[in-house]
Structure 1
Amino acid sequence: MSFLLAPTLLTLATALSAPAPQLQSQALLDALRESSGVPGLGAAVWQQGRLVWQGSSGLRDLAQQLPVQADTRFRLASVSKLFAATAAAQLVQQGQLDPEAPVQPLLGEALPPDWPPLSSAQLAAHSAGVPHYQAQDSGRGHQAHASAREATATHLQARQLVGAPGARFHYSSWGYTVLSAVVEARSGLNYLDFLARHTTPGLAIGVDRSDDAQDRTMSRPYTLTPQGPQPAAPHDYSYTWGGGGLAATPGALAEWGGRVLQGRVVDAATRDWMWTPQRLNSGEPSGERDFQMGFGWRLGQDLEGQALRHHAGVTSGARSVLLLWPEQQLSVSLLSNALWTSAIERTAELLSAPFRPLPKDLVAADCPTGHTRFQAELQDEAFEGRLRFVRVAGHCQGELELPEALATRLHAPPQPRRERLRVLALAPGLARAALVSPIGLLEWRAIGQDKAQVLLPGQRLLKLRLQA
């Protein structure tokens, strides 16, 4: 028989039985690394004004067997876009940049002369019509650039827009190369210098140096293959410092997110303006999937409907994300040193769950230590498998042994296929848990004493019945 746990009883049970949140999150991070096959992961949680956890797992350098540490820096990939947008917002706050004004007068011959007027706000919201990477960009990454303006002039002169400015959302990293060139033009500083002086002062955030073997703080980048992780090919990201060319430690990234929450990077009014949906010419908000676009920031919700401000990234040798919860004053980072298929926003959300209040509508479920089997249903297809659960220091942990057909359904290359998935509780008993899969952490919710469902990417539900 299922019932709802009263919030006060749930809080008391958690305080009495659950391990420290730092230990829970570290256990999740270690399990995630093992399941995904990624060589190294780093994560951090900033809460109410301070870093409360920095987690490291695996190796930053396979050849030398060097571990990931708190000072290890990872490629940020497209999380770098948050810094370009916020740097531009700093100039908006200072009255040095009109976000709605055409950028062509600022950049002159660096842009094609036949482009119609487009604005910084449109660039930041991916509605300017600037193309993303195209076939002609296959050789990018083999040339160094001294400035964002130089990169813009080198790579965009022969391009055509893919649509009229303001007509629709079209994701574009080249648009952020242009936006970082606008920062240079209005500030009079090289883009990297502006970031270091004004946007990220004192933090371990800067240009990606993954290919510099002498830089002992940088993680080496890897590619996942059937033979295991292999070193990624060298790549110079100076063509897109604003779009994907930065690196950071997980702690520095989470700390920077905290500064944004506190109004220390831009003031509160400018921050809230960045977090307001940017409108297309039609009046509809720019965005796609489950988020709208602010000024560079993605605006969405977490699993409980709480407001999220975020951005994720993927590139050779990296998968990254930064999540901010304005109402909870919480900033969470998750960084890795390989490109892998991942529901990374939800993974970071569940990784940080031990630091956030439990959902109010949890259904009570005991740790099923006496159960050995499960039946599952996914999109009207039935499966059967084995399971085992134990209590470790009062904390419920388990493992599902998947039938081959279900393991195949949950497989996403380039990660290895896993037929055994761990389950780590996030609430008393097994009311809520994380199913640790190759594609990330997936939310497990009890819907009865011996029933649960797991939310998969694409809003698919894996329904489970646990049996003795």
Structure 2
Amino acid sequence: MTTSFEALLPGTERALSHRVAVAQSEGRAPSFVGAVVRDGALVWSGSRSCVDGHAPDDDTQFRIGSLTKVFTAVLVMRLRDEGLLGLDDPLERHLKGTGAGEVTIAQLLGHSGGLAAETPGPWWERSPAALRPELSDVLGERPFLQSPGRRHHYSNPGYTLLGSLVEAVRGVSWEEALRREILEPLGMGRTTVEPVAPHAGGWAVHPWADVMLPEPTESLGLMAPAGVLWSTAADLARFAAFLAAGDERVLASTSVEEMRAPAAPAGEGDWEGSYGLGLQLLRKDGRTLIGHTGSLPGFVAALWVSVEDGLAAIALANVTSGPPAALVAADLVRIVAEAEPRFPEPWRPLPEAEVDEE
């Protein structure tokens, strides 16, 4: 028996298209793009838009928010693999004078460093980067909410510290390291710090009226490593394939596996989810998903990988709130896994040389 995994069955494709259509409609999103990766290849993408005849495709950029954190984590893991730092090193050993130097690099990666979730002052996603020119402006006078290492507490400033760490150790900007060490090797030419056409515009939909309101796009400055990137479904499909199997040009499979392991105890009520070293972990529909979600004003995004099923899915929408991108991406994985389950490897007897006659 031979089996081709080149394309999905028509019934599977229709179910995927229906899920995206429902997400766009019920979530009141101007546009919604979904994509599925199987065994490392993009096998389906689809979209739905309120503009007839102008739906985005897998080459249209959307802002991906905190999915950026996974890229920052990969850059840090590369430094570890090169012997330039250790995950148990205190930050102060490599980045001086932050006021949070006792936290370890592993704790920052896994959001167990005890740092605040957000910066002090105005909402950083909606205010100019000029308000936070230094790390002290990002962390504030009291950067710690609790002792480092005690429990998981998601922190955007923590990933600003990691981005600054990359710059200090590598000697180049975070953006240059990202381009040279991840984007170019993986062929992700449509993943950028600034939007490059074709790209979606960011919108908010009024909570009590079907009215679209444009969302401004702020430069994130020092907060860029926590959520600045724009990307496409096609580029994120390449990144998903990397997260599933690794790539020696970027990060060995053993190091990617290390990122996928839970790094800190989950908080109360988070029993179905956890966090690795830069990767969110989710138990859904009986399978383990790894990846990340993201949001910035005007956009929501999600990427989930089921390593066991050889599947990944991407969900992108250009609206501040509404469609649950994380749930939709998980549903896209489930639809394919249930409709077209992966074939197991054929049973084979032990080679004669390995048989113990006794």
- TM more than 0.5: yes
Judge conservation of contact 1:45–1:352 (CA < 8 Å) in 2. Answer: yes
Contact 1:258 1:329 in 2 (8 A): no
Q: Identify the match of residue 51 of structure 1 among 34, 42, 45.
A: 42
Indicate the RMSD between aligned Cα atoms, in angstroms.
2.6
Cα deviation for residue 144 of structure 1 reads 4.4
CA distance in 2, matches of 1:50, 1:339: 30
What is the percentage of aligned positions where both structures have the same residue?
Answer: 23
Say whether the 8 Å CA contact 1:151–1:240 is kept in structure 2.
no
Instruction: Name the structure with the higher helix share.
Output: 2
Q: What SS does the corresponding residue of 1:309 show, helix, strand or coil?
A: strand
Given candidates 294, 307, 320, the residue that maps to 1:339 is 320
Whether the 8 Å contact between 1:151 and 1:238 is mirrored in structure 2 is no
2:160 aligned with 1:174, yes or no?
A: no
Question: For residue 186 of structure 1, what is the amino acid of its counterpart?
Answer: V
**1:246 partner letter:** L
Q: Deviations over 1:140-169 (max 9, x none)?
A: 654347xx9x65344225343111111222
What pairs with 1:367-446 in structure 2 (closer than 5 Å)? none
Match of 1:165 in 2: 148
Alignment of 1:146-165 (within 5 A): 152-156=135-139, 158-165=141-148
Match of 2:13 in 1: 22
Q: Paired residue for 1:297?
A: 279
Which deviations, in whole Å up to 9, do the C-alpha atoms of 1:323-376 show, x marking residues without a partner?
A: 01111221211011112244433321223434213499xxxxxxxxxxxxxxxx
How far apart are residue 82 of structure 1 and its match? Answer: 1.1
Kept after mapping to 2: 8 A contact 1:127/1:167: yes
User: 1:271 aligned to 2:262?
Assistant: no
Match of 1:427 in 2: none
Maintained 8 Å contact 2:204/2:215: yes
Match in the other structure for 1:39 = 30
Amino acid at match of 2:301: S
Normalising to structure 2: TM-score of the pair? 0.82
- The answer to whether the 8 Å contact 2:306/2:333 transfers is no
In 2, Cα distance between the equivalents of 1:160 and 1:327?
39
Q: Taking structure 1 as the reference length, what is the TM-score of the superposition?
A: 0.64
Tell me if the contact between 1:309 and 1:324 (Cα under 8 Å) persists in the aligned partners: yes
Please show how residues 115-126 of structure 1 align to structure 2 within 5 Å.
115=100, 117-126=102-111
After TM superposition, give the deviation of residue 260 of structure 1 in Å: 2.1
| Contact kept? 1:208, 1:237, Cα under 8 Å | no
Query: Residue 232 of structure 2 aligns with which residue?
Result: 249
Kindly indicate whether residue 60 of structure 2 is the aligned counterpart of residue 72 of structure 1.
yes
Unaligned 5+ runs, structure 1: 1-17, 210-214, 361-468
Instruction: Name the SS for the 1:206 alignment partner.
Output: coil
Q: CA deviation at 1:36?
A: 1.5
Cα 1:234/1:253, change in 2 over 3 Å: same
SS across alignment from 1:160: coil
Of the candidates 113, 130, 133, which is equivalent to residue 115 of structure 2?
A: 130
Question: Is residue 104 from structure 1 mapped to residue 56 from structure 2 by the alignment?
Answer: no
Deviation of 1:123 after TM superposition, in Å, equals 0.7
Query: Residues 270, 192 of structure 1: CA spacing in aligned structure 2 closer, same or farther, 3 A cutoff?
Result: same
Amino acid at match of 1:102: P
How many residue pairs match? The answer is 324
CA offset at residue 187 of structure 1?
1.5
1:274-325 CA distances to partner (integer Å, 9 max, x unpaired)?
Answer: 112214xxxx46796121221011222221x222112112221111111011
1:12-67 Cα offsets, whole Å, 9 max, x none, are: xxxxxx734233312321232122210011121111121101222216xx7x9953
Check conservation: 1:74, 1:249, Cα contact below 8 A.
yes
SS of the residue 2:59 aligns to: coil
Distance, in Å, in 2 between the alignment partners of 1:74 and 1:336 is 7
The corresponding residue for 1:216 is: 197
Please tell me the residue identity of whatever aligns with 2:262: P
Higher relative contact order (CA 8 A, sep 6+): 2
Alignment-derived partner of residue 216 in structure 2: 233
Kindly indicate whether the alpha-carbon contact (under 8 Å) linking 1:75 and 1:208 is maintained by their aligned counterparts in 2.
no
> Matches of 1:126 and 1:276 in 2, distance apart?
14
**Hey, what does 1:95 align to over in structure 2?**
83
Counterpart in the other structure of 1:207: 193
Q: Distance in 1 between matches of 2:126 and 2:168?
A: 24
Against the structure 1 CA distance between its residues 330 and 359, is the aligned structure 2 distance closer, same or farther, given a 3 Å change threshold? Answer: closer
Alpha-carbon separation, structure 1, partners of 2:137 and 2:334: 45
Kindly state the Cα deviation for residue 205 of structure 1 after the two structures are TM-superposed. Answer: 1.5
* Pair 287,174 (structure 1): closer, same or farther in 2 beyond 3 Å: farther
**Are 2:120 and 2:138, in contact at CA under 8 Å, matched by a contact in 1?**
no
CA separation in 2, counterparts of 1:287 and 1:187? 37
SS, match of residue 51 in structure 1:
strand
